[in-house]
Amino acid sequence: MKKAQLVLVPSPGIGHLVSTIEFAKLLLDQDDSFLITVLVIKAPYALDIDTFNQSLTTVDARIKYITLPQVTPPDLDPFRSPENFISLSLELHKPHVKEAILNHVMSNKSVPIVGLVVDVFCTSMIDVANELGIPSYVYFTSSAGFLGLMLYLPTRLDQVGIEFKETDPDLIVPSFVNPVPARVMPSVLFNKDGGYICFENHGRRFREAKGIIVNTFTELESHAVSSFLGGDTPPVYTLGPLLNVNGQSLKGSNSNRQVKIMEWLDDQPEKSVVFLCFGSVGRFSEAQVKETALGLEQSGHRFLWSIRKPPPEGQFALPGDYENYEEVLPNGFMERTKNIGMICGWAPQIQVLAHKAIGGFVSHCGWNSILESLWYGVPIITWPMYAEQQLNAFQMVNDLGLAVEMTLDYSLFSEELVSADKIAKSVKYVMEEDSEVRNKVQEMSETSKKVVMEGGSSYAAFGDLINVMLS
């Protein structure tokens, strides 16, 4: 069989890396004529993902990994606009990407290179593809709804020319069913320090690609997907859900902590536990931790709660784990709830969601987490924190009816507390009601498994993408 080479350039965020590797694995499962090389970029900030990067090579021996040299990050304050800082940092890797492709991929002249697949933050690498005469594709790790907003940004900039304001009226975005309130827009779109222009530029560059690959499925976001038809949008390939559901966790998979968590869940009744987990960046102030504890206690339901410790003030880093949870929890909380609750640090999220004891998921609404919860039929209670999560929460609650609102516009840096009463009420609703949301989530769970099987929409989209690449 004739071979073809494909190069992937993910951005160095755990959610982006996991999703990109799943795409590579499933592509090889469908057509083993591809030789895939992943160019691994080290994070330009103090985020501990080096161990994760090292574990990538054990995930699938069919994939070749090349770690690029580190570069000196731009002389910018990362707190003023993290998204702009990350995008500019990644752009500095262009010479290394070009060199790696020339020396390690195109040097094999007997096997043609048929595409460079770049992450949403790596659109500057389209320049490298153009210089080398390689077709470029964008791999979009979030929802089709958010993709539609990013494609809309250049049009809005040409019409309005300024950042969003919190007082803006609800916006009509073609990829959303309902008008989108300013309060659920990603904070980057309000940023005057390069964030808004940075994202608008990414959206503009998407249109230069030969195709856009999205980790979603048509049956989930039918309205958004149909909004891309016609116009100057490149072909959009919905290949999701791309999830590591059959493999082991890429972080801490053999830890004693994971064993203890799963053993504790084994002892709980079916669908009796609410799981609280907020992604690789999510954390709360001590005041919010205490309020959350009171809400859980007030709800009376069993819980598994992943609590992370904020990094030191002024440090651009991932949260860590507490050595002693009692220092942030209300007095006597752990003793009073010892028979119904478990507190942990990092948690193996996908394995937990797969467990029969889980009946609800209080989530930050990262897109990977949403797809995982839908796959396992676990209804989400929305608690978004950063990036596009508020937008995801809005879509899940208002457009799709697949989640229960606790809050739609909470921010990681908000001083406003989500009250114990609101937490207790939301948890009770999800855990006690045979609600329409739970039924819809179960139906979507069944659909999500069908679309990736032969004859399903995502399986067919994979075939279309392969045909385009190999042609």
Residues labelled as active-site residues? 16, 119
As given in the structure block, the two tokens for residue 219 are: 């049956």
Residues 6 or more apart whose CB falls under 8 angstroms from that of 11 comprise: 41, 86, 90, 119, 120, 121, 122
Q: How far apart are CA 313 and CA 310, in angstroms?
A: 8
User: H-helix or E-strand containing 27?
Assistant: helix 14-30
Q: Which amino acid is at 193?
A: D
Q: How many CA atoms lie within 13 A of 399 on its CB side?
A: 25
Q: Are the CB atoms for 252 and 348 separated by under 8 Å?
A: yes
Enumerate the β-bridge partners of residue 236.
212
Query: How many Cβ atoms are within 10 Å of 244's Cβ, its own excluded?
Result: 17
Say how many C-beta atoms besides its own lie within 10 A of residue 27's C-beta: 24
Phi, psi of 340 (to 5 degrees): -125, -10
List beta partners, residue 174: none
- The radius of gyration of the chain's CA atoms, rounded to the nearest angstrom, is 22
DSSP of 377-443: TPPEEE---STTHHHHHHIIIIIS--EEES-SS--TT--SPPPHHHHHHHHHHHHH---HHHHHHHH
What are the structure tokens assigned to 311, written together? 């990094």
Measured CA distances, 329 to 41, 278, 306, 324 (Å) = 38, 17, 13, 10
Half-sphere exposure in the Cβ direction for 437 (13 Å, CA): 25
Output b/e per residue, 179-213; b: 16+ Cβ within 10 A. Answer: ebbbebbbbbbebeebbbbbbbbbbbbbeebbbbb
Phi, psi of 420 (to 5 degrees): -60, -40
From the CB of residue 428, how many other CB atoms can be counted at a distance below 10 Å? 17
Q: With beta carbons less than 8 A apart as the criterion, state whether 431 and 438 touch.
A: no
